[in-house]
């Protein structure tokens, strides 16, 4: 982030400490380009909702959730409606945890406060006090706070949602229509004329180009569309309707089956 808080890709320098924090506001609709860095990153927003894209998987992060991104993993980060982002970079050689894959993390009140504290000038000022610089046989205020952060990292066991887009123009016509309106309940035979392909051809293209049947692909798109609504606190009954499920129980069942936990627990503290 830039000094004035505008969105700017934060590239951490070589690290001599455990954690480096950057802070700034992302405007609505802003996305960083795909990038990677050797440090681990904890992607988190103290306000608003952040999203992280890794491959075909997407994680949606309100303030109650963060994402551990291992060093060397290509990703892009952005927001639909604006967010106060924290860029938290962790030196691999100093970290006592070892999440080897992108991992969703719970952010309770204490971890939230620690992230805000470490991103502020207060943590550095505490380290610069004369009593903090004395050799007291411990790591100093900042390192002790960072150690508590590691103690509080609590993974949420979920499967990321998302699906790749097909590349064939015929299947892509169908895919784009459903991304625009996940509640569109047309079957493949109803897309045949628009896509200039038979239902059998469209089904074959989805399986060949996305690795999923059309039904599986549509479910992933619907669940991905539901995450920002869930993060925003919309009632499950309204979310179900917005993304194409006839009942809230059908949406909850699909979410639990594909993601591993219920929608209510996904973002709960």
Residues 143 and 105 in one domain: yes
Does residue 207 fall inside a structural domain?
yes
Look-up of token digits 């992060």: 61
Residue 102 and residue 40 share a domain: yes
**Do 42 and 105 lie in a common domain?**
yes
Confidence of residue 192 (pLDDT cuts 50, 70, 90): very high
What burial class does residue 152 get, using C-beta atoms within 10 Å of its C-beta: 0-12 exposed, 13-18 middle, 19+ buried? middle
**Residue 95 in domain:** yes
Q: Does a structural domain hold residue 180?
A: yes
Of 127, 155, 183, at which residue does a domain stop?
A: 155
Asked whether the predicted pLDDT for residue 7 surpasses 60, the reply is no
Same-domain pairing of 91 and 212: no
- Is 6 inside any structural domain? no
Domain boundary residue among 90, 124, 155? Answer: 155
Lowest mean pLDDT among 77-81, 128-132, 169-173: 128-132
Q: Which pLDDT score, from 0 to 100, does residue 86 have?
A: 85
Q: Let me know whether 46 and 140 are in one domain.
A: yes
CA 192 to chain centre: 35
Does residue 95 or residue 195 have the better pLDDT?
195
Interval 165-171 mean pLDDT = 96
Q: In terms of domains, do 139 and 201 share one?
A: no
The answer to whether 171 touches 203, Cβ cutoff 8 Å, is: no
User: What does DSSP say about strands 83-90 and 40-48: parallel, antiparallel, or unpaired?
Assistant: antiparallel
pLDDT score for 2: 41
pTM: predicted TM-score of the whole model, two decimal places? 0.79
Percent of the chain with pLDDT over 70: 86
Sign of CA dihedral 258, 259, 264, 265: positive
CA distances from 56 to 32, 51, 63, 68, 174 (A): 16, 13, 23, 17, 18
Q: Per residue in 227-268, pLDDT tens?
A: 999 988 899 999 999 999 999 999 999 999 999 999 988 987
192 and 81 within one domain = no
Domain interval for residue 24: 19-155
Shared domain check, 144 and 103: yes
Query: Using 50, 70 and 90 to split pLDDT, how confident is the model at 17?
Result: low
Whether 45 and 126 share a structural domain: yes
- Report the pLDDT value the prediction gives residue 97, as an integer from 0 to 100: 84
Q: What is the pLDDT of residue 5?
A: 42
Instruction: Please name which of 103, 112, 96, 127 lies closest in space to residue 41, comparing C-alpha atoms.
Output: 103
Residues 90-148: pLDDT tens digits?
988 888 887 999 999 999 999 999 998 888 766 554 454 445 444 444 557 888 888 89
- Co-location of 249 and 138 in the same domain: no
- CATH for 63: 2.60.120.280
HSE-up of 56 (CA within 13 Å, CB side)? 14
Q: Could you say which of 130, 155, 180 is where a domain stops?
A: 155
164 within some domain: no
SS (H, E, C) 197-259: CCHHHHHHHHHHHHCCCHHHHHHHHHHHHHHHHHHCCCCHHHHHHHCCCCCHHHHHHHHHHHH
Residue 134 counted as domain residue: yes
Question: What pLDDT score was predicted for residue 118?
Answer: 87
Say if 161 falls within a structural domain.
Answer: no
Query: CA 90, 227, 85, 114 torsion: positive or negative?
Result: negative
CATH of the domain at 176: 1.10.10.60
**Is 162 among the domain residues?**
no
Please report the pLDDT score of residue 218 as a whole number.
Answer: 97
**The total number of structural domains that make up the chain:** 2
Higher pLDDT, 12 or 158: 158
Beta strands at 103-106 and 65-69: parallel, antiparallel or unpaired: antiparallel
* pLDDT at residue 1, rounded to an integer: 43
């Amino acid at each position: 982030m830039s000094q004035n808080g505008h969105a700017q890709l934060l590239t951490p320098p070589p690290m001599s400490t455990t954690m480096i924090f950057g802070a700034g506001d992302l405007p609505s609709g802003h996305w960083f380009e795909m990038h990677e860095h050797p440090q681990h990153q904890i992607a988190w927003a103290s306000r608003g909702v952040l999203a992280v894209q890794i491959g075909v998987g997407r994680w949606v992060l309100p303030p109650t959730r963060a994402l551990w991104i291992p060093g060397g993993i290509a990703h892009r980060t952005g927001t639909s409606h604006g967010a106060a982002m924290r860029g938290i970079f962790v030196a691999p050689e100093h970290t006592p945890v070892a999440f080897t894959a992108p991992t969703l993390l719970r952010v309770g009140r204490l971890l939230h406060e620690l992230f805000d504290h470490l991103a502020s000038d207060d943590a550095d000022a505490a380290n610069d006090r004369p009593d903090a610089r004395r050799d007291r046989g411990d790591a100093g205020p900042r390192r002790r706070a960072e150690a508590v952060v590691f103690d509080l990292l609590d993974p949420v066991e979920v499967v990321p949602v998302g699906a790749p887009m097909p590349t064939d123009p015929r299947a892509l016509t169908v895919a784009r229509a459903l991304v625009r309106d996940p509640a569109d309940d047309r079957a493949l035979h109803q897309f045949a004329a628009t896509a200039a392909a038979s239902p059998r051809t469209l089904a074959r293209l989805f399986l060949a180009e996305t690795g999923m049947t059309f039904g599986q692909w549509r479910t992933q798109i619907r669940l991905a569309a539901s995450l920002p609504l869930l993060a925003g606190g919309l009632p499950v009954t309204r979310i179900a309707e917005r993304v194409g499920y006839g009942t809230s129980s059908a949406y909850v069942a699909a979410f639990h089956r594909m993601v591993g936990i219920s929608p209510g627990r996904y973002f709960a503290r």
